[in-house]
Structure 1
Amino acid sequence: MPPSGLVIVDKPAGWTSHDVVGKMRRLAGTRKVGHAGTLDPMATGVLVIGVEKATRLLGHLALTQKGYDATIRLGVTTSTDDAEGEILSTASAAHVAEDAVRAGVAALTGPIMQIPPQVSAIKVNGERAYKRARAGEEVELKARPVTVHAFEITAVRRDGDAVELDALVTCSSGTYIRSLARDLGTALGTGGHLTRLRRTRVGPYELAAARTIEQLAEDCVILPIAEAVASAFPRMDVSERDAGLVAHGGRLPAQGLGPGPIGVFAPDGTLLALAEEHGGSTRSLAVFVP
């Protein structure tokens, strides 16, 4: 059995997140593999893969902040809000001033209400929105609260009637960069879509730590589960007596480590559980020791 832990993959363009999971199942030699936070086939970059017991961390890791390096094209709208969709309309963006772009970006920074793309994995009446959209149905998606912590334009390129913007985005879980591109284009009166997306960070896991599929095929490096938890969440070290209590699902007094998951460790450094503080006590979300 392979060790339980995380693999930080640099996803190639053209692969679905599920394609990466399938490849990692073969490389790690186990069916128990999953991923935290889907990347569209067009996108590249950080995809966090969980192996064996670490699959139980993925739902918690998916909720952490994410970073992106993106390119937005003004002057063209598409059916998917990215370069993979059909062109719906074109308009000249040649007149758009950089001050207007920066004002548009500022309006999309901070807590915002965002409507997801028509072609997204969100469920509508039990069915994925993208399935309904591809069947020709007009999908009514509701705006959802997300937080764009930073939205910075790093380059502006003019190409005839079109304008290309390079941007760095840091955002909360559930934020669609495609929707930011669409909404910026709408605000500027030109339309817009996403032409390039590279995820640079998921929580504490950055691109520098990611390995390509080719590198993993040569050496399948798995970050041990204890290290993965220690780098992603606050840490609580407990006594031998309390370790026994945690292993059996018992509660401990809260230590004021804040909201969100906490890694609970035995005196020898073994990961015991992922827990959260609630009402003065610490309760386990997932126990990892037998």
Structure 2
Amino acid sequence: MKWAIAMVDGILNVLKPSGMTSHDVIGYLRRVLQTKKIGHSGTLDPDAAGVLPVFIGAATRLLEYSGEETKSYRVELRFGVKTDTADDSGNVIETSVVFRPEQEKLVAVLKKFTGPMMQIPPMYSAVRHEGKKLYQLARAGITIERESRPITIYKLDLVYQADDYLVLDIECSKGTFIRTLCEDIAESLGMCGTVSFLLRTRSGKFVLNDAKTLEEISKAPFDHILPIEGAVEHFPELMLTDKQALRISQGVVTSISGVAEGKYRLKTASGLFIGIGSANNGMVKADKVINPFTQM
């Protein structure tokens, strides 16, 4: 097949179905959009469904900034079994008695797992070790020690409680493994546990209600593409004069008084999104120029 150059630059808010890997989704969209320049933010497990932001064309240059955003999930935690993958797709490696946790105990445990904490990534994950993904090692029967990483659980709400499972709504920082969190919650309640359902409801500004199915996208591939700037709306906006915009687009570090240190969305007075820039000691430089300003 002869691939076309991407005729559009932007973002698709994709509703990933369960049963497909995130890479499968990208492969499908490559064929639909006839382009190779495409990537996704925030891998979803094959059995998980929900929001998967997909970046097309020039938008792929902003992928490195997209993973910083808060994510939200709805998850079903099933008690009584523990699997090697921490979800229903794995092999059962441990079982336990099942009982309905007392309300006071449950509230205390959920509170315990709210806030900043350290988490060890599971072996069945895309985290890399010496060039290989952990799940590749796990499938080969290899287990290695993993360093814990800082995460934050901003919200952990009980949606429904049954005798043998819980439904939870979780809002968390990047890098959080929901499967590991659920295993730890079950253990604190005195049982084994595994994820039996996982749905990502939000990734940054991209929400489930606005996500499009692959079928919807295939019928009208270019109708659902969102502006590039949406990928970095978590950065504050810095309005530039035409002179400043021209200099920064040309790679010149430019003095702008009164600008606090940090990263910004760089825009002109006319609304042109130039790209991402950094400010330090009143000096602003471009980190990624997407739409260079070329004339005054």
Give the TM-score normalised by structure 1.
Answer: 0.93
In 2, Cα distance between the equivalents of 1:63 and 1:38?
13
In 2, Cα distance between the equivalents of 1:237 and 1:251?
16
In 2, Cα distance between the equivalents of 1:135 and 1:91?
27
In 1, Cα distance between the equivalents of 2:257 and 2:156?
36
CA positional deviation for 1:257: 5.8
Is this contact kept in 2: 1:238–1:265, CA < 8 A?
Answer: yes
1:78 matches 2:80 = no
| 1:60 aligned partner | 65
**Any idea what SS the aligned residue of 2:162 has?**
strand
* CA 1:27–1:101: 2 relative to 1, 3 Å: same
1:157 matches 2:162 = yes
**Any idea what SS the aligned residue of 1:142 has?**
coil
CA positional deviation for 1:194: 0.9
In 1, Cα distance between the equivalents of 2:101 and 2:240?
59
In 1, Cα distance between the equivalents of 2:19 and 2:126?
17
| 1:199 aligned partner | 200
In 1, Cα distance between the equivalents of 2:268 and 2:173?
32
CA positional deviation for 1:258: 6.2
**Any idea what SS the aligned residue of 1:223 has?**
coil
| 1:170 aligned partner | 171
Amino acid at match of 1:164: Y
Encode CA deviations 1:46-77: one digit per residue, 9 max, x unaligned: 10000000001112111111111111112211
With 125-134 and 177-186 compared, the bigger mean Cα shift is at 125-134
1:212 matches 2:213 = yes
With 86-95 and 177-186 compared, the bigger mean Cα shift is at 86-95
1:225 matches 2:228 = yes
1:141-290 correspondence runs (5 A): 141-158=146-163, 163-220=164-221, 221-226=224-229, 228-229=230-231, 231-252=233-254, 253=256, 255-256=258-259, 259=262, 261-290=263-292
| 2:33 aligned partner | 28
In 2, Cα distance between the equivalents of 1:35 and 1:129?
20
CA positional deviation for 1:242: 0.7
Return structure 1 stretches of 4+ with deviation > 2 angstroms: 229-233, 250-259, 276-283
Unaligned stretches of 5+ residues in structure 2: 1-5
Indicate which of 143, 147, 154 corresponds to 1:138.
Answer: 143
Indicate which of 40, 46, 63 corresponds to 1:41.
Answer: 46
With 261-270 and 42-51 compared, the bigger mean Cα shift is at 261-270
CA positional deviation for 1:128: 1.1
CA positional deviation for 1:150: 0.6
CA positional deviation for 1:280: 3.2
Amino acid at match of 1:76: V
CA positional deviation for 1:232: 4.1
Amino acid at match of 2:25: V
In 1, Cα distance between the equivalents of 2:200 and 2:270?
35
In 2, Cα distance between the equivalents of 1:123 and 1:254?
42
* CA 1:264–1:255: 2 relative to 1, 3 Å: farther
* CA 1:71–1:255: 2 relative to 1, 3 Å: farther
Is this contact kept in 1: 2:98–2:191, CA < 8 A?
Answer: yes
| 1:90 aligned partner | 95
Encode CA deviations 1:135-174: one digit per residue, 9 max, x unaligned: 111221121110011111110011xxxx210000000000
CA positional deviation for 1:254: 6.3
In 1, Cα distance between the equivalents of 2:114 and 2:260?
28
Unaligned stretches of 5+ residues in structure 1: none
Identity %, equivalent residues? 33
Is this contact kept in 2: 1:245–1:251, CA < 8 A?
Answer: yes
Give the TM-score normalised by structure 2.
Answer: 0.91
CA positional deviation for 1:229: 4.8
